[in-house]
Amino acid sequence: MLRTHAHTKGGMLVKKGLSETCYRFFTNLSNPTRLATLEKLMKKPMSVNELADSLGQEQSMVSHNLKPLLQCNLVYIKREGKKRIYSVNSETLGELFKVIENHAKKFCPTGGKCILRGD
Amino acid sequence: MLRTHAHTKGGMLVKKGLSETCYRFFTNLSNPTRLATLEKLMKKPMSVNELADSLGQEQSMVSHNLKPLLQCNLVYIKREGKKRIYSVNSETLGELFKVIENHAKKFCPTGGKCILRGD
DNA sequence: TCTTCATATGTATTATTCTTCATATAAATT
DNA sequence: AATTTATATGAAGAATAATACATATGAAGA
């Protein structure tokens, strides 16, 4: 299992069994629609249709994509009459994007234009 | 673009253009082979063949999967004769897994067994 | 309860990503 | 230079995931 401080200190980086969590977590976030959704929800909580309009996507697609985000608690939901208002888990996402921002600052000189699997 | 502190404070969460970086970053990490690779490399830096043995995978597969990790600077490489020794960027990965661990502790009561797209 | 509005779900198609096998490159050794 | 060892690359087939369309569920109000 993933461990912290790697070989240098031998301490736990990621607890036993968290490998699986990581995979789900990252898979969840490795999708442009879901990232765009989070982006929108960061600005303000919205209903599914508001999101769909705002993203220029179909309602069913937005619903489909919200589902895994909800299951991983990356977004929250609350009912308001017929509507369901989604909002982000900014506790986790704030920290997460901070890490990526730091990484990008240091390691992505091209500002995200590095080719992942192109060539 | 993704912004920090969401709607509540209006500050920048993620700088303009980082959406793309996030996508590459997460895509890169949303793969069991690559996560297992990082796991191994956290314990100690290794050559490609050592990794392949250690993972019980083909050399070419390991190579293929190391490529994007290298491109995103999630692993480093150094030459040693014919061998290429890979090691993790523990600066980024340490912080990253810390975030996920915190998230899991709080939001994944089932310990990663929450179904992502199953039902 | 019937209708409307809001969202979720099922499924088939399409698109993307992984893996494997074959082969190429490249460094060191003879 | 030829051989061996280590790694990388190309490309095709296999596996996964995403999308669109149709439809189901479910709440609220007439």
Q: B4-13, pLDDT tens digit by residue?
A: 332 333 333 3
Task: Please check whether residues B54 and B80 belong to one and the same domain.
Answer: yes
The predicted pLDDT at position B52 comes to 98
At B52, list the tokens. Answer: 């392949």
Determine, yes or no, domain membership for A92: yes
Task: Please check whether residues B26 and B53 belong to one and the same domain.
Answer: no
Task: Please check whether residues B74 and B37 belong to one and the same domain.
Answer: yes
In this prediction, residues A39-49 reach a mean pLDDT of: 97
Collect all residues of chain B within an 8 Å Cβ-Cβ radius of residue A21: 100, 104, 108, 111-112
Longest dimension (CA), chain B: 54
The predicted pLDDT at position A81 comes to 95
**CATH classification at residue A58:** 1.10.10.10
pLDDT bucket at B60, cuts 50 / 70 / 90: very high
Separation between Cα atoms, residue B93 and residue A6, nearest integer Å: 10
Task: Please check whether residues B78 and B94 belong to one and the same domain.
Answer: yes
**At residue A9, does pLDDT exceed 90?**
no
Residue A102: closest CA among chain B residues belongs to which residue? B92
Percent of chain A at pLDDT exceeding 70: 76
At B6, list the tokens. Answer: 């969401």
The predicted pLDDT at position A110 comes to 64
Rg (CA), chain A: 17
CA proximity to A98, closest of B34, A106, B86: A106
Task: Please check whether residues B24 and B56 belong to one and the same domain.
Answer: no
The predicted pLDDT at position B9 comes to 31
CB-CB neighbours of A83 under 10 Å: 13
pLDDT bucket at B80, cuts 50 / 70 / 90: very high
Which residues get their CB within 7 angstroms of nucleic chain C?
A: A 47-50, 59-60, 63-64, 66-67, 77, 82-85, 117; B 27, 30-33, 57-58, 60-61, 64-65, 79, 81-82, 119
Determine, yes or no, domain membership for B119: no
> Which residue range(s) make up the domain with A53?
32-107
CA proximity to A86, closest of A38, A35, A47: A47
Residues 6+ apart with CB under 8 A from A19: A1, A2, B35, B36, B39, B112
C-alpha distance from B19 to closest chain A C-alpha (Å): 7
Q: Measure the N-to-C terminal CA separation of chain A; round to a whole number of Å.
A: 32
Determine, yes or no, domain membership for B115: no
**At residue A35, does pLDDT exceed 70?**
yes
Determine, yes or no, domain membership for B118: no
Across the strands, what pairs with A85? Answer: A47, A78
Place of tokens 């208002």: A85
Separation between Cα atoms, residue A69 and residue A88, nearest integer Å: 9
The predicted pLDDT at position B4 comes to 32
pLDDT bucket at A44, cuts 50 / 70 / 90: very high
Determine, yes or no, domain membership for A114: no
Determine, yes or no, domain membership for A19: no
Task: Please check whether residues B26 and B37 belong to one and the same domain.
Answer: no
Separation between Cα atoms, residue A70 and residue A86, nearest integer Å: 9
The predicted pLDDT at position A106 comes to 92
- What are the Cα distances from residue B81, in Å, to B63, B76, B78, B84, B95? 17, 16, 10, 8, 32
- Sheet of A75-80: strand order equals A46-47, A83-88, A75-80
Across the strands, what pairs with A87? Answer: A76
Q: Given an 8 Å threshold on Cβ–Cβ distance, is A100 in contact with B14?
A: yes
Domain count along chain A:
1
Determine, yes or no, domain membership for B51: yes
Separation between Cα atoms, residue A99 and residue B95, nearest integer Å: 7
Tell me which of B15 and B44 has the higher pLDDT.
Answer: B44
Determine, yes or no, domain membership for B112: no
**At residue B61, does pLDDT exceed 80?**
yes
Q: Measure the N-to-C terminal CA separation of chain B; round to a whole number of Å.
A: 31
The predicted pLDDT at position B1 comes to 35
pLDDT bucket at B18, cuts 50 / 70 / 90: low
From A1, A4, A93, residue closest to B94, measured CB to CB? A4
The mean pLDDT of chain A is 82
